């Protein structure tokens, strides 16, 4: 069984992708080994906008975080997802677990200036 998180983002794909690249460079062990951080895509799928609106965000882009190392992910998951919120800012991003439950940030973050 796979474990997947989704980033529902108010930013355009190009800006989301720039932030994803920063996240990967800053912590490759988390985001290229334990979690796989996939590229952003436009929020144009048949249910992308409808699902995201249920979580309080009107997305322009969506990205996926998939658990790759099930033995080590629980030790870093909370910090890794918080780091994603820190880079994107909590006003521009909602992270969900399997598009079912919001994974809330621990605190409010402005977007990182990169």
- 53-77 pLDDT, tens digit per residue, is 777 778 899 999 999 998 999 999 9
pLDDT digits (tens, 9 = 90+) for 37-55: 999 999 987 676 777 777 7
Say how far residue 44 (Cα) sits from the centre of its chain.
17
Q: Look at residue 25 in the predicted model and tell me its pLDDT.
A: 97
Q: Quote the percentage of the chain above a pLDDT of 70.
A: 96
How is domain 4-102 classified at the CATH fold level? Alpha-Beta Plaits (3.30.70)
Could you report how far apart the first and last alpha carbons of the chain are, in Å?
35
Say how far residue 2 (Cα) sits from the centre of its chain.
16
Mean pLDDT across 96-112: 91
Task: For the chain, give the mean pLDDT.
Answer: 91
Domain range list for the chain:
4-102
Q: Look at residue 46 in the predicted model and tell me its pLDDT.
A: 67
Alpha helix positions (H), 27-67: 28-29, 48-54
């Amino acid at each position: 069984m796979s474990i997947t998180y989704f980033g529902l983002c108010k930013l355009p794909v190009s800006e989301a992708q720039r932030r994803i690249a920063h996240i990967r460079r800053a912590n490759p062990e988390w985001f290229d080994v334990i979690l796989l951080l996939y590229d952003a895509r436009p929020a144009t799928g048949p249910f992308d906008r409808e699902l995201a609106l249920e979580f309080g965000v009107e997305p322009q882009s969506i990205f996926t975080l998939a658990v790759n190392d099930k033995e080590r992910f629980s030790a870093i998951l909370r910090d890794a997802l918080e780091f994603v919120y820190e880079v994107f800012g909590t006003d521009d991003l909602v992270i969900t677990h399997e598009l079912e439950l919001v994974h809330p940030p621990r605190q409010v973050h402005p977007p990182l200036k990169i």
